[in-house]
Chains A and B, each alone.
Chain A
Amino acid sequence: MSTPRKSAAPARGRPPVVVTFDPDGEVLDVVGDIDWFVSGGDTRQDIYQRLQDLRAGGDGAPDIVPAMQLSQDRYADVHIVAEEDSRHFVLLDATELMQVLRRNQQASNETALLEDAQRDRMDKDAPGASPRLRPSRQFRRSSELFAEMVHGARAPMAQLSGHARLLQQRCKNDPAALRSIAAIQHAAVRLDALSTNGLISLGELSAGAGNLGIVDTSQLAALLQETFALQAQAQGLGFEVRVPEHASPVEIDTLALRQILINLVIHALEGIQAGRLVVSLSVAAQGLEIEIAGEPSGFDAELFGPLITTTELLKSDSAGSLGLAVSQLLLQQMRATVELVSRRGGGHELWIRLPLDRGFDTEGGLRVRESLFPPALRGGEKVAVVAVEPAQCACSVVELLVDLGVPVVSVQEVARIETLLRDDALGTLVLSSPFEGRHSREVLDRLQLPVESGVMLLTSADEIPGRSGWLRDRNRVQVAADADRDTLHAALRTVLAV
């Protein structure tokens, strides 16, 4: 078996990996970082075996397998290319996307199960009172249908990228062919962006604290350069990405940041006629700053103006750019400041500041900029457990937690909380009083939570002194059950940061 070697150039967020097998199933060659796909208790050999198992089907076995889980929390779109006696497996990383989808799907499924259970209870309490209607599930399924159509776009995209990758290996010394290959890869990037924009606009993906990752701005600059430089050249434009020499890494929603940048650069390339497009990335005390400028003339105000002048582009500008509208939504979710700045020489440039929860100091140590959620919650190892009655209130809390990017499980029984506790999966508990007919004190006595667990209690407003609507005592927050959304949001952020 050959030793994996590093690939030459990235096409997406992470370069594709190509694994080649001989007719006997032995690995002939591995190009790229196969170890990225090895996690949990798996070995490289397990991954190779899983890939080989894809060929176990009879006639009609797929050559493209989107969103395959290769090992724990590692996903790839797999494209199988047969060549004479050997088979190439092209792996395009889909990990970030699938993890975010899984978190959202988890919340959606938990809510649907909760609704089902409540409907069953109502049926038992009043049999024959009314037919069993499932309006929210119908809506959910309709929304899923569109999301699945968008997902479908990823299969041909994987095919494009896979073939381009293989061609690139074979045409290393042919500049003309390499230019064509780069154009194919650019098309794949645009398809990828379109697919992700679709998922975001359908509400299947959102930016949030649950998707944090470490971004090195120089690596991000290299990715943008490789993705767009050739396209800009084909348009007769220059393309430059500027980063300070010693820029610090930052912790941010990596998928959202990449999507914003890709959308905005594609949009800028469509709107600039001559000169050069310059993207500048810098890390300041207040956050990550991005400037997108057209040199020397600047952009027309209309190009990026809708980001500033129109509140909800996704809803109000259906004929406009989907990429721009989705970028606006993500920027809002990331609490960004966006300005259109007039240039001295005429025209405008776009300036964005993304606030950061954490950054690295000059010695490379991680420092906290503001309250953040515990790593286990952000990483999905633990969940926020919502044990709240009535169901409408539970749904509101679940919705807020999902917006905050926190994995959430809604439960209806104390026994279920005990099970999650036993599995060491409970990170934070949101508990109403009463719950399952018991006062919160009684429930907490029974649970015997670890002292470090954050607890938010939803109680009668009479039990909350003062006007704030909530109070905190060490790692316990008490809030009125009928509190408005902003109060609940503030209380939740506090308890999650415990």
Chain B
Amino acid sequence: MSVSLSRKISLLGDFAVGKTSTVARSVRNTFSEAYLTSVGVKVDTKTVSDPEGGDLRLVLWDIAGANSLDQMRANYIGGSHGLLLVADGTRADTVDTVLSLRDQAWRLLGRQLPSVLILNKCDLAGEWEVPPERQRELAAILPVFSASARTGQGVEEAFAALAAAVAAAPVGLKSP
């Protein structure tokens, strides 16, 4: 009999990078062109298969975008097992922001968590601001996926990678 485990995943990123859209694409396979800013936090779930044939239930905390973790957001991320970092590939500064958020989260939690970076909006090639060399630098420090919540490209791959990393990481122990 397969065992279903739940793992808490916090989504971090600047405002308007597409965190909510990424969740909507992954959980409900929907997308809306209208930008509606998030406030507070919304919790969704997504079940994926783990490598051993069981189910892994990802509890996704979609936290309102910001460039730093204030007291309220710091409170939200407590007990996380993994981080889904989302940046907007058409706004290069959002990559620096999300890496800073990751570092801040690790400091607050006192441990390094499995993390995956999504460079969202890859369908907007003409506006892309993250050059290939920068992407290579990023890929050297964490798994990076060019993705589009609008088309769905790369989204499932990013979730699968994060799920595998979370499943493999001993709970409460450091992870590379």
Instruction: Check A116/B40 contact, CB under 8 A, given A56-B59, A60-B109, A419-B33.
Output: no
Please report the total number of B residues contacting A with Cβ < 8 Å.
Answer: 35
Instruction: Check A425/B39 contact, CB under 8 A, given A61-B78, A61-B79, A148-B71.
Output: no
Looking at the assembled complex, report how far the CB atom of B97 sits from the nearest CB atom of chain A, in whole angstroms: 11
Residues of chain B with a CB closer than 8 A to A148's CB: 70-72
Instruction: Check A144/B66 contact, CB under 8 A, given A53-B59, A151-B72, A420-B34.
Output: yes
Residues of chain A with a CB closer than 8 A to B81's CB: 57-58
Could you tell me if A409 and B79 are in contact, using CB atoms closer than 8 angstroms? no
Q: Which residue of A lies closest to B92 (CB)?
A: A120
Bound CA–CA A54/B39 (angstroms)? 17
A66 touches which of B6, B32, B67, B75 (Cβ 8 Å): B75
Q: Which residue of B lies closest to A151 (CB)?
A: B72
Could you tell me if A66 and B43 are in contact, using CB atoms closer than 8 angstroms? no
Number of CB contacts from chain A to chain B under 8 A? 108
Residues of chain B with a CB closer than 8 A to A54's CB: 43
Could you tell me if A155 and B72 are in contact, using CB atoms closer than 8 angstroms? yes
- Residue-wise, chain A 42-81 has the 8 Å CB interface mask toward B (1 for contact) of 0000000110011011111110111111000001000000
Looking at the assembled complex, report how far the CB atom of B36 sits from the nearest CB atom of chain A, in whole angstroms: 7
Residue B8 lies at the interface, judged by CB distance under 8 Å to chain A: yes
Looking at the assembled complex, report how far the CB atom of B111 sits from the nearest CB atom of chain A, in whole angstroms: 10
Please report the total number of A residues contacting B with Cβ < 8 Å.
Answer: 44
Q: Which residue of B lies closest to A100 (CB)?
A: B39
Looking at the assembled complex, report how far the CB atom of B147 sits from the nearest CB atom of chain A, in whole angstroms: 20
A76-114 residues at the B interface, CB under 8 angstroms: 94, 98, 101-102, 105-106, 109-110, 112-113
Residues of chain A with a CB closer than 8 A to B172's CB: 58-59
Instruction: Check A62/B75 contact, CB under 8 A, given A53-B43, A145-B70, A423-B34.
Output: yes
Could you tell me if B72 and A66 are in contact, using CB atoms closer than 8 angstroms? yes
Could you tell me if A53 and B79 are in contact, using CB atoms closer than 8 angstroms? no
Could you tell me if B42 and A58 are in contact, using CB atoms closer than 8 angstroms? no
Residue B41 lies at the interface, judged by CB distance under 8 Å to chain A: yes
Interface centre among A49, A65, A98, A152 (most CB of B within 10 A): A65
Instruction: Check A65/B75 contact, CB under 8 A, given A53-B45, A109-B37, A113-B16.
Output: yes
Looking at the assembled complex, report how far the CB atom of A474 sits from the nearest CB atom of chain B, in whole angstroms: 27
Residues of chain A with a CB closer than 8 A to B59's CB: 53, 56-57
Looking at the assembled complex, report how far the CB atom of A202 sits from the nearest CB atom of chain B, in whole angstroms: 14
Q: Which 7 A-B pairs have the closest CB atoms?
A: A57-B79, A67-B40, A61-B79, A148-B70, A57-B8, A60-B78, A56-B6
Residues of B at under 8 Å CB distance from A?
6-8, 15-16, 32-43, 45, 57, 59, 66-67, 70-72, 75-76, 78-81, 91, 109, 171-172
Additional pairs, 4, CB under 8 Å, beyond known A57-B59, A67-B40: A58-B80, A66-B75, A102-B36, A152-B70
Could you list some 28 contacts between A and B, CB below 8 A? Answer: A49-B45, A53-B59, A54-B43, A57-B59, A57-B78, A58-B172, A59-B172, A62-B75, A67-B72, A68-B42, A69-B39, A69-B41, A102-B39, A105-B37, A105-B39, A109-B15, A109-B16, A113-B16, A145-B70, A148-B72, A151-B71, A152-B70, A155-B71, A383-B34, A409-B34, A409-B35, A419-B34, A423-B34
